[in-house]
Amino acid sequence: MECSEFKDQLQSMLDGQLSAAERSRMENHQQQCPRCAAELGWMQQFYGAIEQERRVTPSTELTDRILDQWALNRLKGRERNLVFGRVERLFIAASILIAILGGVKIGDLIHKMETKDRVPMELALLDDLAMEDIGALIEN
Protein backbone atom coordinates (compact mmCIF):
# COMPACT_ATOMS: atom_id res chain seq x y z
CA MET A 1 0.00 0.00 0.00
CA GLU A 2 1.15 3.50 -0.87
CA CYS A 3 1.03 6.39 1.59
CA SER A 4 -1.42 8.23 -0.68
CA GLU A 5 -3.85 5.30 -0.56
CA PHE A 6 -3.53 5.13 3.23
CA LYS A 7 -4.37 8.83 3.40
CA ASP A 8 -7.40 8.39 1.13
CA GLN A 9 -8.76 5.58 3.29
CA LEU A 10 -7.94 7.24 6.60
CA GLN A 11 -11.34 8.88 7.13
CA SER A 12 -13.22 5.68 6.25
CA MET A 13 -11.07 3.87 8.78
CA LEU A 14 -11.89 6.46 11.46
CA ASP A 15 -15.58 6.19 10.59
CA GLY A 16 -15.36 2.39 10.94
CA GLN A 17 -16.42 1.86 7.35
CA LEU A 18 -13.64 -0.45 6.16
CA SER A 19 -13.97 -4.19 5.66
CA ALA A 20 -11.76 -6.51 7.70
CA ALA A 21 -9.49 -7.07 4.68
CA GLU A 22 -9.11 -3.35 3.97
CA ARG A 23 -8.42 -2.70 7.60
CA SER A 24 -5.65 -5.27 7.82
CA ARG A 25 -3.99 -3.75 4.73
CA MET A 26 -4.11 -0.38 6.47
CA GLU A 27 -2.65 -1.86 9.65
CA ASN A 28 0.18 -3.46 7.68
CA HIS A 29 1.12 -0.12 6.16
CA GLN A 30 0.85 1.59 9.51
CA GLN A 31 3.39 -0.83 11.01
CA GLN A 32 5.91 -0.14 8.27
CA CYS A 33 5.36 3.61 7.93
CA PRO A 34 5.83 5.74 11.04
CA ARG A 35 4.70 8.86 9.19
CA CYS A 36 1.25 7.41 8.34
CA ALA A 37 1.01 5.89 11.81
CA ALA A 38 1.61 9.34 13.30
CA GLU A 39 -1.04 10.86 11.05
CA LEU A 40 -3.58 8.26 12.08
CA GLY A 41 -2.71 8.84 15.73
CA TRP A 42 -3.18 12.57 15.35
CA MET A 43 -6.58 12.17 13.69
CA GLN A 44 -7.64 9.71 16.38
CA GLN A 45 -6.64 12.22 19.03
CA PHE A 46 -8.71 14.91 17.34
CA TYR A 47 -11.86 12.76 17.17
CA GLY A 48 -11.20 11.49 20.68
CA ALA A 49 -11.18 15.10 21.89
CA ILE A 50 -14.55 15.73 20.25
CA GLU A 51 -15.87 12.61 21.95
CA GLN A 52 -14.62 13.99 25.26
CA GLU A 53 -16.34 17.34 24.68
CA ARG A 54 -19.58 15.55 23.90
CA ARG A 55 -19.51 14.05 27.37
CA VAL A 56 -19.36 17.42 29.17
CA THR A 57 -22.74 18.06 30.79
CA PRO A 58 -24.29 21.35 31.92
CA SER A 59 -24.37 22.16 35.63
CA THR A 60 -27.41 21.01 37.60
CA GLU A 61 -28.48 24.59 38.42
CA LEU A 62 -28.90 25.47 34.76
CA THR A 63 -32.64 24.73 34.68
CA ASP A 64 -33.28 27.06 37.63
CA ARG A 65 -31.04 29.71 36.12
CA ILE A 66 -33.04 29.64 32.90
CA LEU A 67 -36.39 29.81 34.71
CA ASP A 68 -35.15 32.74 36.85
CA GLN A 69 -33.97 34.60 33.76
CA TRP A 70 -37.28 33.97 32.02
CA ALA A 71 -39.23 35.31 35.03
CA LEU A 72 -36.95 38.37 35.14
CA ASN A 73 -37.47 39.03 31.43
CA ARG A 74 -41.25 38.80 31.87
CA LEU A 75 -41.07 41.31 34.71
CA LYS A 76 -39.01 43.71 32.62
CA GLY A 77 -41.48 43.28 29.77
CA ARG A 78 -44.35 44.20 32.07
CA GLU A 79 -42.50 47.32 33.26
CA ARG A 80 -41.98 48.34 29.66
CA ASN A 81 -45.71 47.90 29.07
CA LEU A 82 -46.45 50.18 32.01
CA VAL A 83 -44.19 52.89 30.64
CA PHE A 84 -45.74 52.45 27.24
CA GLY A 85 -49.21 52.73 28.85
CA ARG A 86 -48.25 56.12 30.30
CA VAL A 87 -47.08 57.34 26.90
CA GLU A 88 -50.32 56.08 25.40
CA ARG A 89 -52.40 58.07 27.93
CA LEU A 90 -50.45 61.23 27.14
CA PHE A 91 -51.12 60.61 23.46
CA ILE A 92 -54.88 60.34 24.11
CA ALA A 93 -54.79 63.56 26.16
CA ALA A 94 -53.02 65.33 23.29
CA SER A 95 -55.64 64.02 20.82
CA ILE A 96 -58.46 65.33 23.04
CA LEU A 97 -56.73 68.72 23.24
CA ILE A 98 -56.48 68.90 19.45
CA ALA A 99 -60.10 67.79 19.07
CA ILE A 100 -61.37 70.39 21.55
CA LEU A 101 -59.33 73.21 20.10
CA GLY A 102 -60.39 72.16 16.61
CA GLY A 103 -64.03 72.05 17.71
CA VAL A 104 -63.70 75.46 19.34
CA LYS A 105 -62.13 76.86 16.23
CA ILE A 106 -64.99 75.57 14.07
CA GLY A 107 -67.54 76.80 16.60
CA ASP A 108 -65.75 80.12 16.54
CA LEU A 109 -66.06 80.34 12.77
CA ILE A 110 -69.78 79.46 12.90
CA HIS A 111 -70.33 82.07 15.59
CA LYS A 112 -68.44 84.62 13.60
CA MET A 113 -70.67 83.89 10.64
CA GLU A 114 -73.84 84.15 12.76
CA THR A 115 -73.10 87.08 15.07
CA LYS A 116 -70.25 89.43 15.34
CA ASP A 117 -70.11 90.40 19.05
CA ARG A 118 -71.00 87.40 21.31
CA VAL A 119 -68.04 85.20 20.56
CA PRO A 120 -64.96 85.98 22.74
CA MET A 121 -66.52 85.23 26.18
CA GLU A 122 -67.61 81.65 25.32
CA LEU A 123 -64.38 80.88 23.58
CA ALA A 124 -62.35 81.93 26.61
CA LEU A 125 -64.50 79.77 28.91
CA LEU A 126 -64.21 76.66 26.75
CA ASP A 127 -60.50 77.14 26.40
CA ASP A 128 -59.98 77.33 30.16
CA LEU A 129 -62.03 74.20 30.76
CA ALA A 130 -60.15 72.31 28.12
CA MET A 131 -56.79 73.30 29.58
CA GLU A 132 -57.88 72.15 33.06
CA ASP A 133 -59.02 68.76 31.73
CA ILE A 134 -55.82 68.22 29.92
CA GLY A 135 -53.76 69.30 32.89
CA ALA A 136 -55.59 66.71 35.03
CA LEU A 137 -55.11 64.02 32.43
CA ILE A 138 -51.39 64.63 32.19
CA GLU A 139 -50.96 64.61 35.99
CA ASN A 140 -52.55 61.16 36.20
Partner 1 sequence: MEEQELIRALVAGEPQVFREIIDFYKDKVFRTCMGFVHQREDAEDLTQEVFIQVFGNIRSFREGSAFSTWIYRIAVNASLNHLRKKKRLLFPTGFGWWTGASEEKERTSHHETSQSPEEEMLASELSELIDRSLATLPEKQRIAFTLSKYEELSQKEISAIMELTEGAVESLIFRAKKNLQERLLSRIKN
**Of residues 97-136, which lie at the interface with partner 1 (CB under 8 A)?**
none
DSSP-assigned letters across all residues of the chain: --HHHHHHHHHHHHTT---HHHHHHHHHHHHH-HHHHHHHHHHHHHHHHHHHHHT----TTHHHHHHHHHHHHHHHHHHHHHHHHHHHHHHHHHHHHHHHHHHHHHHHHHHHHH-SSSHHHHHHHHHHHHHHHHHHHHH-
Stretches 43-51, 97-105, 108-116, 121-129: which one binds partner 1 (CB under 8 A)?
43-51
Residue 42 is a binding residue for partner 1 (CB under 8 A): yes
Residue 40 is a binding residue for Zn ion (CB under 5 A): no
Residue 16 is a binding residue for partner 1 (CB under 8 A): no
**Of residues 57-86, which lie at the interface with partner 1 (CB under 8 A)?**
57-59, 62-63, 65-67, 69-70, 73
Residue 49 is a binding residue for partner 1 (CB under 8 A): yes
- Per partner kind, with CB cut-offs from 5 to 8 A, the member of Zn ion, partner 1, none near residue 3 is Zn ion
Cα–Cα distance measured from residue 1 to residue 28, given in angstroms and rounded to the nearest whole number: 8
CB-nearer residue toward Zn ion: 36 or 93: 36
Chain residues that interact with partner 1, rule: CB under 8 A: 7, 10-11, 15, 38-39, 42-43, 45-46, 49-50, 52-54, 56-59, 62-63, 65-67, 69-70, 73
